[in-house]
Structure 1
Amino acid sequence: MGILGWIVVGLIAGALAKAIMPGNDPGGILVTMLIGIVGGVIGGFVGRLIFNTDTGSFFNLRTWLLSILGAVIVLAIYRVVVGKKTAA
């Protein structure tokens, strides 16, 4: 899958991660897209380690599920890191 495909997957996966974990997060659409793209990479890594599978093509359900799982993980980490910076 090309860069444009990962950007589209990242945008949608990041938006779905924010829908799964609603809250007041700093950053707009760019942060959401970056969280989704990084989440896709993390999801592929987690899928390879735990489930012995990798992300597939753009229209593969496994790609979307792993990307969303990774985006939720990255969003949780982002909230912890940003929450500590704003609390101090």
Structure 2
Amino acid sequence: MGHEICNRPGAACDFVVNGYEEDMQRIAQFICQQLSFDKLYFYGRDRPIHISISNNPLRHLQVMHQSEKGRCYPGKRAYGYNVLDLVKKL
């Protein structure tokens, strides 16, 4: 099909939910509390969420920050059910 960019099988996408364009932390909270996922990258309250799914989900939440020059860099992260504590702080 194509060249894989990750060695973990699955699928991924970036998305925004209509009506929550400025409140995406609520969407991240819902996902972490209610859904199975492999990795979720949270870029900010008003930015798209990047999420992946896999047959063996890690439940990895990675908070991303943006430098003054516009480059993204990783901040806090959590795995498993520890994501519930971190996602409440978004």
TM-score of the alignment, normalized to the shorter chain, above 0.5: no
Q: TM-score if structure 1 supplies the norm length?
A: 0.24
Higher helix proportion: 1
- By percentage of residues, which structure has more strand? 2
Structure having greater relative contact order (Cα 8 Å, sep ≥ 6): 1
What's the TM-score, normalizing by structure 2?
Answer: 0.23
